[in-house]
Amino acid sequence: MVAVPAVVLWVVEVVSVLAISLGGVVPFVFQYINIRKTRSSKGFSTYVILELIAAYVLRICFWFGHPFETPLLVQCVTMIVALLFLQHACITYDAEHIASSGGSHFDGTIDLKTFWRWAHFKDYVTAVLLFAVVSGSATLIMIGVPAFVETVGLVSLLLEASLGLPQFVNNFKNKSTEGMSVAMVGCWLSGDIFKTTYFVLRSAPTQFFVCGLLQVGVDISILLQVVMYSRTSFTATSPSRATKVLHTPTKQLTRTTVMA
């Protein structure tokens, strides 16, 4: 059996660590670019941001009671910062639209109709900080109770596993995937497959592996929506094109025939 050089193993290890720590940001870069390009966030569900931030805050709390690998902890911090940047972009271009269907400010209460639908970025930061303080305090108080710590970890992973569900529901309601970056979902899928494999190889807690499998399933479902709604859109526009040709003035058709 041929021995693998130590340098090669080191490079593979470094690449894996960087991919886990920073790779989660890449998909949302595509959505950020799409929002800047179209100057609109319509079609993208900001509840994806809400779910992921909550998941990563809880995962940091879980780390205090059940330490896991450092790259996964770094991933939590980088993702929270990146997601807040993405939320800022959404607010920048669609503040009036978001406020019209939600509340103008976060007052500390939870109203499902207006929560995470505010017009000012500072309200989102305040909500995240408040959630971090409450969940962090609860973890420190209950850190000696294994069942509580494991539950925090499980909830965190279930939230992350369902990150695509708000987007799936949003696409289903609109019967369209317009405004959503397909490249973002493609990155989700490839990243989740890689991440799930990493969890298995590194013997991460079982919750991480289950989370990865659920994420892969949701990613595939969203990509199937892209195909389905693209076909529906094409079918819907085809008759109108045919009608346009049928109603073309006779003189114009005659001129075209003469020129041919």
Q: Is residue 36 part of a domain?
A: yes
> Tokens 């973002």 sit at which residue?
184
The residue segments making up the domain with residue 124 are 6-259
| 25-57 exposure pattern, b = at least 16 Cβ within 10 A, e = fewer | bbbbbbbbebbeeeeebbbbbbbbbbbbbbbbb
**Residue 52, in any domain of the structure:** yes
234 located within any domain: yes
Q: Is 72 part of any domain?
A: yes
Distance CA 53, CA 41 (A): 18
38: in domain: yes
Q: Could you give the number of structural domains in the chain?
A: 1
Which amino acid is it at 182? V
Q: Tens of pLDDT along the chain (260 residues)?
A: 456 577 766 676 667 666 666 767 888 888 999 888 888 888 888 899 999 999 999 999 999 988 887 888 888 899 999 999 999 988 888 766 565 555 567 766 777 677 888 888 898 999 999 999 999 999 999 998 999 998 998 898 888 888 889 999 999 988 888 889 898 998 888 878 887 887 777 777 776 777 788 888 889 999 999 998 887 655 555 555 545 444 545 444 444 444 44
Residue with tokens 């990155």: 187
Domain-located, residue 242? yes
Asked if residue 1 belongs to a domain, the reply is no
Query: Per the domain annotation, does 37 fall within a domain?
Result: yes
